[in-house]
Amino acid sequence: MANLHFHYGTMGCSKSAQLIINAYNQNKNGNKTEIIKPKIDNRFSEDKVNSRIGISADATTLSSLQDWTPAPDTKMVLIDEIQFFTPEDIDILVRIADSKSIIIMCYGLMIDSNEHIFPASRRLIEVGAKLHRMESTCQIPGCMHLATHHLRYDSAGNVIREGTQIAVGADNYKSVCRKHFNMFYHSTGKGDKGER
């Protein structure tokens, strides 16, 4: 089994839920796990990974992985919202995965709301992490296509096409298929609010 994994998908595809379930099953089988989340992700809790379906798990919150090392008896490390870490943090995970008998499971987004790959996600691809695509359907009513993109909205419901890559919060995002991303992202008139 590969020691470094990247489970990626759009918002709402159950990444956090799968992380929590995976940690639960490993602990139940006697394999100690550590759950890590980035400090910037404080939407639902400061020290827990929370899923929208109502389950949660305690987590260690870190701004960086630079001074972190797993406990000696840890068998698996699960990291939520990996896109909020840095490429240098990914290199630390690579060294741990290659030098210790620890499996590292990263969960997060591949691309931002402007179709750009997050630097940490890109680094996971570059270093050869085993990729696991987690699928969900487009959130435009009536569409059953695969969600591959995110539309980001301002408070008036207009699509945001510029600005910082990292903006925490799920309320102003919608996971959509490529067709609807292109339709609304490149629109300048009626329908900008992501209504079919």
Same domain, 128 and 141: no
What is the tens place of the pLDDT at every residue in 167-183?
Answer: 665 458 899 999 999 99
pLDDT of residue 189 exceeding 50? no
Same domain, 108 and 191: no
Domain stops at, among 85, 102, 133: 133
Q: What's the confidence (pLDDT) of residue 191?
A: 46
pLDDT of residue 196 exceeding 60? no
Same domain, 97 and 142: no
Same domain, 126 and 144: no
Burial class (CB in 10 A: 0-12, 13-18, 19+), 127: middle
Same domain, 60 and 111: yes
Average pLDDT over residues 77-84: 97
pLDDT of residue 95 exceeding 60? yes
**Domain CATH for 8:** 3.40.50.300
pLDDT of residue 52 exceeding 90? no
Residue 124: both structure tokens together: 């996971």
What mean pLDDT value characterizes the chain? 89
Helices 87-99 + 119-126 axis angle, to 10 = 30
* Closest by CA position to 49, among listed 82, 16, 22: 16
Same domain, 103 and 153: no
Q: How far is CA 182 from CA 65, 127, 185, 195, 196, in A?
A: 36, 30, 5, 13, 13
Domain boundaries, position 180: 137-196
Average pLDDT over residues 67-95: 96
Whether pTM exceeds 0.75: yes
Same domain, 77 and 164: no
Interior CA angle at 125 toward 11 and 186, to 5°?
Answer: 50
For the chain, percent of residues with pLDDT exceeding 90? 73
What is the tens place of the pLDDT at every residue in 4-39?
Answer: 999 999 998 999 999 999 999 999 999 999 999 999
Residue 195: both structure tokens together: 């209504």
Q: What's the confidence (pLDDT) of residue 185?
A: 92
Residue 160: both structure tokens together: 């945001």
pLDDT of residue 124 exceeding 50? yes
Distance CA 85, CA 41 (A): 11
Cα-trace Rg, the chain: 17
For the chain, percent of residues with pLDDT exceeding 70? 88
Report how many domains make up the chain: 2
Task: Give the residue numbers annotated as catalytic, written as ranges.
Answer: 81
Same domain, 10 and 107: yes
